[in-house]
Amino acid sequence: MSYSLPKTSRTQLKRLPKRGSYDRDTLYAILDEALICHIGFVIDAQPFVIPTAYGRIDDRLYIHGSPASRMLRSLKQGIEICATVTLLDGLVLARSAFHHSMNYRSVVLFGTAEPVAAVAEKQRALQAFTEHVIPGRWEEVRQPTPQELAGTLVLSLPIVEASVKIRSGPPVDDVADQDWPVWAGVLPLQLAAKAPIADPQLTLGYEVPPALVNYRRG
């Protein structure tokens, strides 16, 4: 497998291609930091975009849910989908309204998902979901029973057609606006966790897991 993803007619960046990347390390880092992806697909000529959690194992993205889910029931039939992930890193304030922007890292992934039938792979996928959210959590909690595994539909999407787009740095103002009398720059943003809130049913006084202390993404 090539370490860089190939450019295709769907992943070739048309606007500002210098912001694009097809490097797998860059793509995987974005997928591993984000928590939610948006799945776009078409059913009976009607477009849908659904947010969902996911996990990654090597070059596959996994999504899961109830077998009754309309989205998952449709996707397992082999229809084409588009999955997107975006991390917002900052607000870019320029001297002109026209050049205001945002700093971001994003992934667009195309492909066809397939249902996971093997119990061992389904278990690994569920572990990946859990570890993606809270590293180390899988070994702390009760793991899925055979009944729970049977009641969960897991789909696997190969990462073979995708692109990354990144915007970073300060505003890019026109030379004529450089002396405009207003502050310009970047307001950095990041996802920050607040103090953990214990379940009211937690009666034994368990300590907060180390993974939740100073929890952050990236």
- Domains of the chain: residue spans and CATH: 17-212 (2.30.110.10)
pLDDT score for 23: 94
Residue 118, CA atoms < 13 Å, CB-side half-sphere: 5
The answer to whether 84 and 109 have CB atoms below 8 angstroms apart is yes
pLDDT per position as a tens digit, 104-128: 999 999 999 999 999 999 999 999 9
At residue 63, the pLDDT reads 95
pLDDT of residue 69: 85
Tokens of residue 118, six digits: 């093997």
Cα-based distances in Å from 177 to 93, 97, 172, 200: 13, 11, 10, 56
pLDDT beneath 70, residues of the chain: 1-2
Q: Choose among 60, 53, 47: nearest CA to 152.
A: 53
N-to-C CA span, the chain: 26
Greatest Cα pair distance, the chain, in angstroms, is 67
Strand partners, 45: none
* DSSP 3-state of 162: strand
Query: How far is 93 from 110, CA to CA, in rounded Å?
Result: 32
- β-bridge partners, 203: none
Q: Rounded to whole angstroms, how far apart are CA atoms 149 and 120?
A: 10
H-only helix segments in the chain: 24-33, 70-75, 119-133, 146-150
The radius of gyration of the chain's CA atoms, rounded to the nearest angstrom, is 21
Residue 6 is encoded by which pair of tokens? 């190939």
Q: What is the pLDDT of residue 142?
A: 94
pTM summary value: 0.92
Residue located via tokens 């390390």: 25
How far is it, in rounded angstroms, from Cα 69 to Cα 136? 28
